[in-house]
Amino acid sequence: MLVQALAVVLFVALLLALFRFAMGLRYAKGERERARAAEEARGRRVVAEIPLSEADLVLFVDDGERFRWASDSLAKEEIVGARALVNGAVVREFAAGPGLLPPAAAPEEFEGRERWEVMVFLRGGDAARIPCGSLREGVSREIAGRVFEALRAAAPTKEEQVDLQAGSKEE
């Protein structure tokens, strides 16, 4: 009798733990949807949800003139190129013109998880790193791909590329 009572108590405790976990996931999903709706109500386009850690998720948004994520932002007119990186190795890149990107660094030693990020190169030689996560294989790769394609779409057109090579973009 005591064994059966203990089994029932353990079963109920397990059910409560599973219920609590499920409700936590549901709450987190609701919070993400509310944050996304708030950004879209401001007229911004949500490009991707970037996981900064296991519990922290930020939105990478395009507001027309700038890209924003967490507390960082990039002006679109400053972008001259970008590289999609996995563990520091270049997977894809684009540049507004020849010679605008510095040489690629040697890839880092593989640490067991794929770490995806996008390195954005700006006028004046500055660069910004956008971490895209180290989640399951396809998730972080897809996030990095979305961020990279949004940056490429914002890059200067062929006519603007000529002006960039000359030193300044005409307004």
**pTM of the predicted model, to two decimals?**
0.72
147 and 70 within one domain: yes
CATH number of domain containing 162: 2.30.29
Rounded Cα–Cα distance for residues 20 and 36 (Å): 24
Does the structure show a pLDDT above 60 at 45? yes
Q: Is 88 within a domain? A: yes
Regarding whether 135 and 81 lie in a shared domain, the answer is yes
- Please state, rounded to an integer, the average pLDDT across all residues of the chain: 83
Please name the helix (run of DSSP H) or strand (run of DSSP E) that holds residue 129, with its range, or none. Answer: strand 127-133
Strand partners, 84: 92, 118
Which whole number is the average pLDDT over 28-34? 83
Q: What is residue 96's predicted lDDT score, i.e. its pLDDT?
A: 82
Q: What is the mean pLDDT of residues 52-72?
A: 85
Backbone angles phi, psi at 44, to 5 degrees: -95, 150
**Among candidate residues 155, 72, 157, 168, the one with its CA nearest the CA of residue 117:** 72
User: Distance (Å, rounded) from C-alpha 132 to C-alpha 53?
Assistant: 10
Encode pLDDT of 94-118 as tens digits: 988 777 788 888 777 766 778 899 9
Q: Same domain, yes or no, for 31 and 72?
A: no
**Domain of residue 49, residue span:** 44-166
